[in-house]
Structure 1
C-alpha cells in the first residue's frame, strides 16, 4: 500500500485525517493536537496543487476528500501520517442527517438539502439519500483504508479513547502515558465544547447505535443490503441487530487530574478552562502541584493568582495587573492575542479591563482569580486620580467605567 510507508520524523510531524463526514474526524484531530502539541490547520474542502505549500512543518488536519493522484502524491512526498475514521453506516448517516438539519452549509454535498424536507425524523427523502447519494460520501473512509491509511473505529474511541490513542500514537511517535491521559481528558465533551473550540452540535450525542431508536426500519433494511455499507460492516465487524445494547461510555473520572473535585478546597469553583491550563499550558504542572484543588502554600491556586514574570515589562503598572492566569488565558485565545498584542506592555490596561469585565463569564473561572487583579487595578487608578474608585464587594463587579476596552 502506498501510504504510511516511511519512518516518522517527530520534528516534521504531519498528520492528515481523511474520512467520511460524521465518523469522529474532529474528535481524533483534537486528540492528536493535544497529544503531540501540534497546530491544527484547515485543509481546503477541494484539493488543488500547491494549496498546502504554506503549511507549517508540524500540524494535524482533517478533511472529507476522495483520493486523487495529486493528493496522494503530496501525502507521500510530505511523508504525512494518514489516518481514517470509520463508523457504523447507520449511525454515520443519522449524525449527518441531524447535522444537515442544523446547518445551512452541507459542504460540497448539494443533494443533502433534500434531507431537510423530512423534518425532524428521517423519511422518504432520507431513504432516497442513503440509496443514491450517501454511498459516495461514506466510501471516502473505505477508499483511504485501501491505500494504507491507519483506521480508527469511532465506536472504539467511545468505549476506551485512551487505549485507542495509545494504539494510534504507537504507529506514529510513541508518547508517555501521562501525555495520553491529558489529551483524552481534554477531549471529553465538557472540555471540547468550551467557548472557541468545537460547536456542541458536532458532539450531539457522542454515542453508538442510536440508529436503532431513530431510523425507520425501511431505511435500515435498505442500508443493510447496499454497498458500500455491506463491505464496511463485514470489514469492521458492524451488524444490524436491533437487540444489541449501546456500548458503555468511557469513565473520564479515572483520569481526571482534579480527581472528581469540582471546587477548590476553599470552596471556589474549578472551571473547565483550568484543566486545559493545568494539563496543557503549564510545564510539569502535575509534578509541581500533584493535588491541584489544594489552595494553601505553593499551590496551583496561588500560582494562578500570582503576578506573572512578564508583569515587569511595564513598570508603570502594578505587577498584580498581570497574573499568571491572565497570561494563560491570553495564550488560549487567538482573538485575545489579536485584540491585545502586547498584554504585558503597551496593551496592559486594555487587557486588564477585558479580564475584569469578561473573563469570568467567558472562561467560567472563579471570582477568587479575578479579585486580586481588581484590587491591584483599583490601587493603580486611585494613585492616578483624586477621586477614589469604589471597590465592588467580593463576588462580582458590574462595570468599570473609568476606562473602556480601548483604554480611552
Structure 2
C-alpha cells in the first residue's frame, strides 16, 4: 500500500463544507475488509486528501490539514498517541474473517506490497500464490499466528469505545444508508455520497492494476472453504469471530466443488 493522494473525483456541486466537519480520519482495520472502497468514497464526499501507508512512521510530515488515512496497524500505545496528537477520528471496518482470508489469498497474486502488512507480521507467504482456499496450504496459513495477526487488527480497534464501527456486509447491502450515516457522523452531507459510490464501483476497482477490487460479495467463503476447514479456522480464531459477531453455521460443500468454484472465479 503506497502513500497516495486522493483519486480523481466525479464532477459534482462543490458546496461549502460544514464547519463541524472532522478534519482527519483514520480507517484502521484488517486488510481486505473494504477499507480502500470506504476510504475513497467517504474521503471524496468530504473533500479530503487520501493518504495510505503501511506504517504510521511513513506518513507525510506535516500531514495535510484535511486527510483520510488508511493503515493496517496494531492498537498499541505509540500509535494511539500519534493518532491523538494528530487529532484523528478512528474508523474501523469488520468483515467476515473467512472472506478476509480468501480475499487476501487472491490479492497476493497481484500486490507484492502485502509483504509489508504489519511490517511482515501477517507472514502471508508468497508460496500461497496459486493455491485454492480448499488446499491444505491455505488452511495451514489460516490456522497460523500470521493469520491471527492479520485478523486481529479490526478485533483490537473494535474494542475502542471512541472508534466509529461499521460492517462491510452492511455497507455492501445498503451503501447509501450505511456510508451516508458515517458521512453524517463526520460532519458531511450524505446527499453528496451517490456520485462517489458510482465513481468507485467494484467493477472500476477490479480494473486497477493490482485488482484492488475483486468479488466484493459477502459470504463468498461458503462456496470456497469446506465446512470441516471452516470449523477448524473458527475454533482457532473463535475470540475474533465472536467479538465481531460472525459465525459459521451449517452448510454443505465438497472439496471438489470448492476447487471448481475457485477456478471459475479465477
Deviations 1:276-318 (A, max 9, x none): xxxxxxxxxxxxxxxxxxxxxxxxxxxxxxxxxxxxxxxxxxx
Q: Distance in 2 between matches of 1:81 and 1:98?
A: 31
Deviations 1:245-282 (A, max 9, x none): xxxxxxxxxxxxxxxxxxxxxxxxxxxxxxxxxxxxxx
Q: 1:30 and 1:214, CA in 2 relative to 1: closer, same or farther beyond 3 A?
A: same
CA drift at 1:14: 0.6
Pick aligned residue for 1:183 from 187, 196, 221: 196
TM-score (normalised: structure 1):
0.51
Q: 1:51 and 1:37, CA in 2 relative to 1: closer, same or farther beyond 3 A?
A: closer
Within a 5 Å distance, the mapping from 1:3-402 to structure 2 comes to 10=20, 13-43=23-53, 45-48=54-57, 51-108=59-116, 109=120, 111-113=123-125, 115-116=127-128, 119-132=131-144, 133-148=146-161, 149-177=163-191, 179-192=192-205, 198-199=208-209, 201-227=211-237, 230-243=238-251
Q: What secondary structure sits across from 1:201 in the alignment?
A: coil
Gaps in structure 1 of 5+ consecutive residues: 1-7, 245-408
Q: 1:188 and 1:114, CA in 2 relative to 1: closer, same or farther beyond 3 A?
A: closer
Q: Distance in 1 between matches of 2:113 and 2:87?
A: 32
Q: Distance in 1 between matches of 2:49 and 2:209?
A: 19
Q: Distance in 1 between matches of 2:147 and 2:110?
A: 18
Q: Distance in 2 between matches of 1:95 and 1:116?
A: 12
Q: 1:86 and 1:47, CA in 2 relative to 1: closer, same or farther beyond 3 A?
A: same
Deviations 1:72-127 (A, max 9, x none): 11211222111111100111101111112333342333731255266244422222
TM-score (normalised: structure 2):
0.76
Q: 1:115 and 1:90, CA in 2 relative to 1: closer, same or farther beyond 3 A?
A: farther
**RMSD over aligned Cα, in angstroms?**
2.6
CA drift at 1:145: 1.7
Q: What secondary structure sits across from 1:127 in the alignment?
A: helix
Q: 1:11 and 1:166, CA in 2 relative to 1: closer, same or farther beyond 3 A?
A: closer
CA drift at 1:183: 2.4
Contact 1:22 1:92 in 2 (8 A): yes
CA drift at 1:57: 0.1
Q: What secondary structure sits across from 1:102 in the alignment?
A: coil
CA drift at 1:68: 2.7
Gaps in structure 2 of 5+ consecutive residues: 1-17, 253-266
CA drift at 1:42: 2.7
CA drift at 1:206: 0.9
Q: Which has the higher contact order (CA 8 A, sep 6+)?
A: 2
Contact 1:38 1:59 in 2 (8 A): yes
Count of paired positions = 229
Q: 1:158 and 1:140, CA in 2 relative to 1: closer, same or farther beyond 3 A?
A: same
Compare CA radii of gyration and give the structure with the larger one. 1
Q: Distance in 1 between matches of 2:25 and 2:170?
A: 20
Q: 1:188 and 1:140, CA in 2 relative to 1: closer, same or farther beyond 3 A?
A: same
